[in-house]
Structure 1
Amino acid sequence: MPSVVDLLEYSSIQKLLFLGNTDEDFSVLTQHWSELTEGKACVIKEQPNAIEIVPLNSSKGGGIMVLLDHLGLTEDSDLEAVGDYTRWLSNK
């Protein structure tokens, strides 16, 4: 069975999502997965009862940078994006 890190690095899986009923459970899970994948994947507490594990350096902000480049625009362009939680807090 491949590890979570291997799944994110060497397969087409782009996100692992854990959903639960209580925030208390996810504080423990967030800490556990953050330590286990440190430097290899990014653990994001997306909502009070959810965490995501995504490839390292993966962010919606980074996706916007790729889009800007594809459109021939720079990060100084007038562009606005709307998000609902922490994954949108990114410079790149």
Structure 2
Amino acid sequence: MLRLSMVCLLLFVFQLSITPARAFQDFREWEDRTGQFKFAGSFVSEEDDVVTLRNVDGTEYEILLDELSLKDQIQVRRLRAQKSGDSPLT
């Protein structure tokens, strides 16, 4: 059992060492507007007020923009603007 745990740990460390740092750079904690639900992930896209977030294992989730906290809604607008080259206020 201990040997299996060590092998798993070594594989995990190896995976982290070959994963580009950029892959984890955009991960942050997202929160719904009630503050009850939190999600660690990165912004993928926003289209028609539906935000797509990706967690560490690559699974993507969609949430309505107005279901996110105000802070996260502002962050989505900034990230969307960065991707498109627009001003975040538009």
TM-score by length of 2: 0.29
More helix by share: 2
Query: Which entry has the higher C-alpha Rg, 1 or 2?
Result: 2
More strand by share: 2
TM-score by length of 1: 0.28
